[in-house]
Structures are given as C-alpha cells and as structure tokens.
Amino acid sequence: MITLAVETSCDETALAIYDSERGPIGDIILSQAKVHSPFGGVVPELSAREHTRNLLPLLDRLLKETGFDLRKVDFVSFTLTPGLIMSLTVGVSFAKAVAYLLRRPLVPVHHLEGHIYSVFLERPVEYPFLALVVSGGHTDLFLVEGFGKYTFLGGTLDDAAGESFDKVARLLGLGYPGGPEIDRLSKRGREAYKLPRPMMDDPSFNFSFSGLKTAVLELMRREKNFKVEDVARSFQEAVVEVLVEKTVRAVRETGVRRVVVVGGVSANSRLREAFKERSEEEKFEVFIPHPKLSTDNALMVAYAGVERFKRGITAPPNVNPEPNVPLQEFGKIWS
Ligand code: KG4
Ligand code: ZN
C-alpha cells in the first residue's frame, strides 16, 4: 500500500511518499522559518500563502528525485486538524485535488496522532503506552491503548512548551524558531538561576509555561549583566524538569511503563538526556524519534494514514479542516 501524505498545519510544507511494506520512498520538507523569523513567530496569513506557493513545485521535485510514478499511489493522507486554519485549508484542498485526479480515497490524519506515530517509523511500540506530545502548539499527555484509542491525561493551561521556548528566545534576542537556538546556547551555559517549576507538584497532569516566560523577563531586568547562555540554560532546565517529572508521575500512577516523547520539543538534547536518565532510574522504556522526525514532517502523517486506511477510514470529498479537534475526540469521530 502506497500513500502520498500532505502536511501543512503550521509553517512547514511537507510531502511524503510511503510504502507500508517497504517504508519511505521519499519525503520533502520546506521550512518557512526565514519568512516568519522577522516577526518572532508564525504569521498565519503568510504561512498559508507560502504553502500555496510551494506545494506543487515541491511535489514536482519529490517525484523527480524519487522517479516515482504518482499513479501508483493507493490513497492520499493529509492533516485535517489541528493547526492554523488557512494553512490546513491549503493542504486539504491540495490533497483533495490530487485524490480526485487520481481517483483515489482521501484519508484524514490528526497532526498529534502523526507525531505519536513518528516513533513507529523507527520501531513499533507495544500498547498501552503514554505519549507526551510537546510541540509549538501543544503540550499534552495521553494514554494510548491502541490505534485511535486516546485518553487525555492533561495538557498545558496556557503556553505550549515549544511556544515558551520561542517566546523566551525572542526575549533573549535569538531567532525563530527559538527551541533549537536555546538548545544550542544552553550547552555553553550553566544553571546560574533557579527558575520556578510551574505546576510540578500539582496533582493534575496539567502544565503551565507562561509564568516561566515572565520569570525570565523579571530575571533579565534584575540581573543587568546576565549571560544569555546562562539564562537559556536555566530556562531549559526548568521546562525539562517539569516535563520529565510529570511524565514520571504518570508512569507511577498509571503503571504504564512505556513512554513515547514526540513533537518539535522532543528534539531538545537536554530533554532527551533527562528522559534517558530518569527512565533508567525509574525502570520504564522511553521512545523518542530521531530529531528529524520530531519536528513537523509528512512521513508521520503517512504512517498514521496507513493505519487509518487499514481500518477502512476515509474522508468524503466535502471534508473540511478544523482548527482544533482534540485527539481523543478525533479518535472516536474517525473510527
Ligand atoms: O512539532 P513542531 O515542529 O511543530 C508544531 O506542531 O508546533 O514543533 C515546533 C516547536 C517550536 O516551538 C520549536 O521551537 C520547538 O518545536 N523545537 C525545539 C527544538 N527544536 C524544535 N524546542 C526545544 N529544543 C529543540 N531542539
Ligand atoms: Zn507538530
């Protein structure tokens, strides 16, 4: 079974061709980081316009590079939700047009489901497992009991983890996206300042990161001669500790001893290291995809698309994107 996958939920235009028997045939990602960088964050309208400009030339390049005959595609997978609505609309319209011309079915995928299954592109994980999804738009913890069977355990009450990396990077005068910059700088810094660990001792599985950004701002006002790398490191330590310790508590409370950590922030080198250390101490297994698969890509959409198609789940031609259908509901609606 071969699928063409389309991902345009945020600021990456991504396409992939994936064979369920043989694996990836090809994939291509065009980052819009340069377009949004002057604004310190993604500008929704510019994102949609960039997707419109780039999708067709990217498909053309992907087909030329792989020598793949598009007529061999069995179905078209696409991200239906969540994301920037205009950006999703461009990708959904594109997927519909290709599917129509090829006379092939359309298979809807949830962006977070894609992230979760990015791990499976490398190796399958046994059910049940916990999934920590940490991206620019989400910081959610799920219990996954089977494909499509998602229970929401908790999530951020304000900023997502990636969003807080981006906002703090902006305060520090670093570029967009801020996560990779803070990750890189932190390696040279030390945890000179002990920042708050928001909601770490709260009994829920919810998170909150907006206060941390304010704490960084106060710190920068207070300490006139701070080193950027020390502030970056102190901030990163705080985020990582909250993410890891809350997940460790979920492992203890649910008794589920397999954890997948996905989404853009899972590319963070300190987060990866901390999860490795704590999983050895607490005796659970942790699965984090290669950094290339952590950030947005279309291979993850293809993988989840194959799983949906195997279950006979397809979308009608009038399907419309939604900005934010929760994963647990998506699993029930499209089943
Ligand atoms: O999953 P993703 O590519 O897109 C969304 O679905 O949002 O995540 C993007 C987010 C951005 O906020 C970016 O700063 C963050 O992931 N990110 C990182 C790192 N690489 C990307 N955050 C921390 N450390 C990194 N190395
Ligand atoms: Zn994402």
For residue 314, the model assigns a pLDDT of 98
Residue 48, token pair as written in the block: 């949609």
Given this model, what pLDDT does residue 40 score?
A: 83
Chain centroid to Cα 298, Å, comes to 11
- Determine whether the shortest distance from the Cβ of 83 to ligand 1 is under 6 A: no
Chain mean position to CA 89: 19
CA distance 194 to 190: 11
Nearest CA to ligand 1 atom 14: 179
State if residue 181 touches ligand 1 by the CB under 6 angstroms criterion: no
Is 140 touching ligand 1 by the criterion CB < 6 Å? no
CB of residue 263 inside a 6 A radius of ligand 1 = yes
What pTM did the predictor assign?
0.97
What are the angstrom distances between the C-alpha of 299 and each of 26, 279, 321? 9, 27, 20
For 30-40, write each residue's pLDDT tens digit.
999 999 988 88
Q: How far apart are CA 101 and CA 16, in angstroms?
A: 18
As a whole number of angstroms, the distance between CA 275 and CA 155 comes to: 19
Q: What is the mean pLDDT of residues 229-244?
A: 98
**Among the atoms of ligand 1, which is closest to the Cα of residue 296?**
3
CB atoms within 10 A of CB 156: 22
The pLDDT score that the predictor gives to residue 41 is: 86
Question: Is the separation of the CB atoms in 141 and 246 below 8 Å?
Answer: yes
Q: Which of 156, 150, 157, 205 is nearest to 335 (CA)?
A: 150
Could you give the CA distance from residue 212 to residue 32 in angstroms, rounded to a whole number?
A: 27
**Spacing, Cα 136 to ligand 1 middle (Å):** 5
Residue nearest to atom 16 of ligand 1 (CA): 264
> Residue 305 pLDDT > 90, yes or no?
yes
Quick one: pLDDT band at residue 26, thresholds 50, 70, 90? very high
Distance 295 CA to ligand 1 centre (A): 6
CB-ligand 1 contact for 264 (6 Å cutoff): yes
- Name the residue of 47, 110, 135 to mutate for ligand 1: max ligand atoms within 8 A of Cβ: 135
**What share of the chain has pLDDT > 70, as a percent?**
100
Which numbered ligand comes closest to the C-alpha of 262?
Answer: 1
Q: Which residues have C-beta within 8 Å of that of residue 195, sequence separation ≥ 6?
A: 212, 215, 216, 219, 234, 235, 237, 238
- Give how far Cα 234 sits from Cα of 57, 100, 167, 238, 255, Å: 42, 52, 15, 6, 31
pLDDT confidence bin for 316, thresholds 50/70/90: very high
In the reported structure, the alpha carbon of residue 197 is separated from the centroid of ligand 1 by a whole-number distance in angstroms of 20
Give the residue, 331 or 118, on which the prediction is more confident: 118
Provide, rounded to the nearest whole percent, the portion of the chain with pLDDT above 90: 97
Report which bound ligand comes closest to the CA of 169.
1
Q: Mean pLDDT for the chain?
A: 97
Task: Give dist(CA 294, CA 286) in Å, integer.
Answer: 14
Q: Left (φ > 0), alpha (ψ -120 to 50) or beta: where does 22 sit?
A: alpha
Cβ–Cβ < 8 Å for 296, 14: yes
What is the 209 CA–ligand 1 centroid distance (Å)?
15
Q: Tell me if 176 CB under 6 Å of ligand 1.
A: no
Integer Cα distance of 260 and 17 in angstroms: 24
Say if ligand 1 is within 6 A of residue 114 CB.
no
Average pLDDT over residues 101-111: 98
Per-residue CA distances from 34 to 6, 37, 159, 299 (Å) = 21, 5, 23, 23
End-to-end CA distance of the chain: 20
Closest to 76 in 3D by CA, of 15, 125, 152: 15
Whether residue 83 has pLDDT greater than 90: yes
**Ligand 1 centroid vs 309 CA: distance in angstroms?**
28
pLDDT(156) > 90: yes
pLDDT in the model for residue 168: 97
The atom of ligand 1 lying closest to the CA of 11 is: 4
Report the distance separating Cα 159 and Cα 97, nearest Å.
Answer: 35
What pLDDT digit, counting tens, does each position of 175-216 carry? 899 999 999 999 999 999 999 999 999 999 999 999 999 999
DSSP state of 148: T
If you average pLDDT over residues 223-232, what whole number do you get?
Answer: 96
Residue 192 carries which side chain, given as an amino acid letter? A
For ligand 1, mutation pick of 165, 170, 260, 324 (most atoms within 8 Å of CB): 165
The closest alpha carbon to 16, from 79, 47, 60, 62, belongs to 62
Pocket test for ligand 1, best of 88, 233, 295, 327 (most atoms within 8 A of CB): 295
Residue 101 in contact with residue 216, Cβ under 8 Å? no
Pocket flag, ligand 1, residue 135 (CB < 6 Å): yes
pLDDT of residue 6: 99
Give the rounded distance of the alpha carbon of 180 from its chain centre: 14
Which residues does residue 146 pair with via DSSP β-bridges, in sequence order? 149
List the domains of the chain with CATH numbers. Answer: 2-116+295-333 (3.30.420.40), 126-288 (3.30.420.40)
Alpha carbon nearest to ligand 1 atom 23, residue:
179
Separation of alpha carbons 325 and 241, rounded Å: 29
